[in-house]
Amino acid sequence: MSRLGHMLRVLGWAALVGFRDTLGAVYTVQSWVLGLFVRMVAQVAFFASLGQLLGRQADVEFLLIGNAIMVSTSSSFTVTVATVGERDAGTLPLLVASPTSPLVALMGRGASFVPNGLITSLGALAIVAPLYDVSLPWARLPALLALLTLVTVSTYMTATFLAGFVLRSPGTRRTVSNVARLVMMAFCGVSVPLSVYPEVVRAVAQVLPLTHGLKAIRELFAGAGASDILGDAGLEALVGGGWLLLSLATFRWLADAGRRDGSIVFSTA
């Protein structure tokens, strides 16, 4: 119990540091709106307009919802990039040398990207949906919020797993997070229904974050029953948990390899 308590304390402190960093140094209100929010809103509108081109309102709705949810999970991948920042700041060796798993601290540091994702996603949804005559089930907002948090967190687990690898070769950080985002955009049912893809792609999609959670959210929008929604949400949680276990298993190993070859100390510059 005391071990768990200790981990939670570390997580909490790291999250606090991360929030302070994000609010002060990474974003101001103005740069958040102009540099991030406007882009995300436009991205959702861009895909919704593709639905218009196709000519059916059902397509508009499918593309709009999928991409609005995608916005939130995108934010999670910032942790993959931020890890290298930790290394450049020289704090990573200290974390590795501390008695807590560095993973816990890193997860805490990036945790501010989860609420950031939620806010961006909901904001984009609220602005773009009326423009394209998509009605939102506002009465089910708490359920939507819960599901959105679920997919964002499960994606965050995947992003943390990737962060471990990026730590070994920091030059790839942007490429790794970018490709991970694109894979999810293309293969998790965000814009393209999975039925289009061959069997093997569909099978891979089952173990990616977002796939099941997004399905649950679509069911929520369509007014499906709780059991269907909860079933898919459960699968999403399972996938997220799987990625968390993978991160824990690989991270110590990667950090040790970094200690052996010295790559943990040096900065990217």
Q: Does 203 bind another protein (CB under 8 A)?
A: no
If binding means CB under 8 A, how many residues of this protein chain bind another protein?
35
Residue in 181, 184, 188 with CA at minimum distance from that of residue 216: 188
Q: Does 182 bind another protein (CB under 8 A)?
A: yes
Of 29, 139, 196, 200, which one interacts with another protein (CB under 8 A)?
196
Q: Does 63 bind another protein (CB under 8 A)?
A: yes
DSSP string, 27-80: --HHHHIIIIIHHHHHHHHHHHHHHHHHT-HHHHHHHHHHHHHHHHHHHHTHHH
Q: In this complex, which beta carbon is closest to another protein, that of residue 13 or of residue 46?
A: 46
Sign, CA dihedral 49-45-72-161, equals: positive
Q: Within 10 A of 227 (CB to CB), how many other CB atoms are there?
A: 8
Q: Does 179 bind another protein (CB under 8 A)?
A: yes
Q: Does 183 bind another protein (CB under 8 A)?
A: yes
Per-residue x/- track, 4-43, another protein (CB under 8 A): --------------------------xx--xxx-xx--xx
Residue in 58, 67, 218, 220 with CA at minimum distance from that of residue 138: 220
Of 7, 21, 23, 49, which one interacts with another protein (CB under 8 A)?
49
Number of residues that this document lists for the chain: 269
The burial of 248, by beta-carbon neighbours within 10 Å (0-12 exposed, 13-18 middle, 19 or more buried), is given as middle
* Options 50-58, 133-141, 211-219, 233-241: segment touching another protein (CB under 8 A): 50-58
Of 45, 95, 208, 264, which one interacts with another protein (CB under 8 A)?
45
Q: Does 174 bind another protein (CB under 8 A)?
A: yes
Q: What is the rounded CA–CA span in Å between residue 88 and residue 269?
A: 8
CA of 55: how far to CAs of 61, 131, 151, 164, 193, in Å?
11, 16, 29, 44, 17
Minimum CB separation of residue 174 from another protein in Å reads 6
Q: Does 224 bind another protein (CB under 8 A)?
A: no
Minimum CB separation of residue 63 from another protein in Å reads 7
Spatial CB neighbours of 233, under 8 Å, sequence gap ≥ 6: 147, 150, 212, 213, 216
Q: What is the rounded CA–CA span in Å between residue 268 and residue 122?
A: 35
Q: What is the rounded CA–CA span in Å between residue 111 and residue 18?
A: 7
Q: Does 126 bind another protein (CB under 8 A)?
A: no
Q: Does 165 bind another protein (CB under 8 A)?
A: no
The owner of tokens 């965050």 is: 156
Of 98, 169, 175, 267, which one interacts with another protein (CB under 8 A)?
175
Q: Does 186 bind another protein (CB under 8 A)?
A: yes
Of 1, 4, 25, 53, which one interacts with another protein (CB under 8 A)?
53
Q: In this complex, which beta carbon is closest to another protein, that of residue 135 or of residue 195?
A: 195
User: What residues make contact with another protein under the rule CB under 8 A?
Assistant: 30-31, 34-36, 38-39, 42-43, 45-46, 49-50, 52-56, 59, 63, 171, 174-175, 178-179, 182-183, 185-186, 191-193, 195-197
